[in-house]
Structures are given as structure tokens and as C-alpha cells.
Amino acid sequence: MDPCRRPSGCEAPSDSPASRLRILLLGASGFVGGGLWTHLAPRHELVGTYATRPAPGPAGLVRLDLRDEHRLAALAADGFDLVVHAAGLVPLEAAEADPALAHRLNVRPVEVLLDAVRGSGTKLLLLSSDNVFDGTRRQYEEADPRSPVNVYGRTKTAAEDLLLAEGGHLIVRIPLVYGRGPWANTFLARLAGPTTVARTDLVCAPVYLPSLGPALARLWHRTGVVHYGGSDVVTRFELMSRVQRALDLPTRVVAARGDEAGTTCRRPPRLVLRSTRHPLLGPDLDSALAHLSGRRI
């Protein structure tokens, strides 16, 4: 089963020579970036970056520290059709602990990129987050007002504002992404211990990693803001429990609420992304977990 063909409208884009692009993928060695690399590399001329952890194998990623503004600007200005920005400081707790670093890695690089590509015809695609919202609504569409409750969400909001003020670029907001990365396994690492604490008071519509690349390729001709969410709405506890059962992982998933989970960062309680601009949704959990576990359905 191909998870990217299961949801309506999530088929891969055309692979004809006319659709082949020269793409810079920032953060290609990460969990989400690695998933994007897997889909895009066979279809486009792709240059990827890593910060400290080069990906194994023939990927040929180039090293880039986002704080090296001269190097970042020179790379972005090298004649790309599209720059996909999937790098930065992602863990919410890390951003909360060091707001200055979060701004330096999540906001300032967008300013550098905009300066580097202005007038060149290169388009920027920023992967943003559902954490730009406060989690008080049943679901969020593109035009809903943003009200971030943590440092990470505030840096993503600031980065979005830079692109929106410039015009002509694209922001894709995504939720929690789950699955197995080709190099970094950030999500499954959460289930690596003997017990896995998962919250019952956090609700999301998570996206299966292999569906993200095909979806972006269907969306990157747009400008402004678009959302891409998963089909199913679940608690974090339900998601982690179902992944544990599907993969038969040797961990016990323990239900907890915020005051029991030992969290150091405020998290929006309900983040369900839906779009008014396109019909795409990630695959349902049953289909995605069957694919993840190697079962045929």
C-alpha cells in the first residue's frame, strides 16, 4: 500500500522533465527533512544541508550552520527554483529554555534567505507549525488568528510574518509528524525507553511522514499560507499507543496529563489543521500504521 495514494489528492506530482526543479532543502538530515529528501531526490535536482549530523550513504549533503549568514546567503543565491526551509530549533522545550537561540535559528535565517533571493525568481517554502495557534478552537484554518503560547510558536509566527510581508512565497503549516525517518528517527525515539509517557489532554491531527513530500509537491505552486493535516484526530496517548501496538515495541505507553508529564513548556491543548485552499489530507492512522509495520491491507 502506498500511503501517499490513499488520501484523495495526495498522489505524487508529475515526473516529466518539464516539472523537474532545482531545489535547496535546508535541514535534509533531520526527521522531516529526511522524509522530504526521500521523495524529492529521485524527481528533482536536489541539494540538501545538515548542521552537525551528516546523513549516511550517497546523499551528498552539504554542511551548513544556519548562524553562518554569509554561507546561508551564498547557498540560497545559487540559482535554485525553490528553497524548502525545514531546518531550525524544533524541540519546544529547547526553544523555551533559550529564546534568543530560538530566534537566531528560527527567525533570523528567514531574513537572510529573503535578502539572498529577492529579485532572483527563487521561491521560499517555509515549513511552519500548528503551534502558532493557542489550541482553544475545535480546528484551525489558514485565516484563523494566530496566538502562540510558547517560544517556539512565537518564533514561527515571526518567521511567517517576514514571508507574508514580502509576498510571493509559501508557508506550509504542519502538525506533529510521525513515522520512520530514513536517517533521523526523532519520533520513534520517543518510544525507545521501557515506558513512554503520553498525554491524554493534547489533541492533534498528525501527519504520516511519507505523505508530506507528495503533498508539498502538490502545493508549492501556491503563495501565502496553506495547512496540511492528517485525516484522524487523536490524543497523543492514542497515537503513541497505536504506534506501539502496530510495531510491537517493547515499551509501555503511560497516560498522563500536563501536570503529570513533567513538561517545562506550555502546549496548546487542541491543534487540528484543516484547509480552505485545497482538499489534501494525510492518510488515516490505520493505513499509515499498516504501511509503517510492513503489512498489506
DSSP string, 89-133: ---HHHHHH-HHHHHHHHTHHHHHHHHHHTTTTPEEEEEEEGGGS
pLDDT in tens, 257-267: 976 656 778 99
Average pLDDT over residues 176-189: 93
Q: What is the DSSP string of 121-171?
A: TPEEEEEEEGGGS-S-SS-B-TTSPP---SHHHHHHHHHHHHHHHH-S-EE
Question: What is the average pLDDT score of the chain?
Answer: 91
Query: What pLDDT is attached to residue 264?
Result: 74
Pick the closest to residue 151 from 202, 110, 85, 103 (CA basis): 103
* % of the chain exceeding 90 in pLDDT: 84
Cell of 252: 509501555
Band the pLDDT of 16: cuts 50, 70, 90: very low
pLDDT band at 54; cut points 50, 70, 90: low
* Residues 220, 231: Cα–Cα separation, whole Å: 21
Rounded to 5 degrees, φ, ψ at 6 are -75, -50
Q: For domain 17-293, give the fold.
A: Rossmann fold (3.40.50)
Specify the residue for cell string 513548556: 265
Of 59-68, 121-130, 142-151, 202-211, which range is least confident? 59-68
Q: What is the pLDDT of residues 130-150, one digit of tens each?
A: 999 999 999 999 999 999 999
pLDDT at 261: 58
Q: How confident is the model at residue 3 (pLDDT cuts 50, 70, 90)?
A: very low
129 has pLDDT over 50: yes
Alpha helices in 179-257 (DSSP H): 186-189, 209-219, 236-247
**Has residue 281 got a pLDDT over 80?**
yes
Domain boundaries, the chain: 17-293
pLDDT score, position 12 = 38
Residues 284, 286: Cα–Cα separation, whole Å:
6
- Considering 140, 152, 208, 228, which one is annotated as catalytic? 152
Q: Known catalytic residue: 208?
A: no
Q: Please state the separation of Cα 9 from the chain's center in Å.
A: 19
pLDDT-derived band at 184, boundaries 50, 70, 90? confident
Q: Which H or E run contains 49?
A: strand 45-50
Percent of the chain scored above 70 by pLDDT? 90
Q: What is the pLDDT of residue 270?
A: 98
Distance of alpha carbon 177 from alpha carbon 215, whole angstroms: 13
Tens digits of per-residue pLDDT, 192-236?
999 999 999 999 999 999 999 999 999 999 999 999 999 999 999
What does the alpha-carbon distance between residue 100 and residue 42 come to, in Å, rounded to a whole number? 37
Best CA proximity match to 233, nearest among 202, 188, 264: 202
- Compute and round to an integer the Cα radius of gyration of the chain: 18
Residue 264, exposed/middle/buried by CB under 10 A (0-12, 13-18, 19+)?
exposed
Number of helices followed by number of strands (H, E) in the chain: 10, 14
Higher pLDDT, 157 or 17: 157
Q: How many CB atoms are located within 10 Å of the residue 3 CB?
A: 22
Return the pLDDT at 213.
97
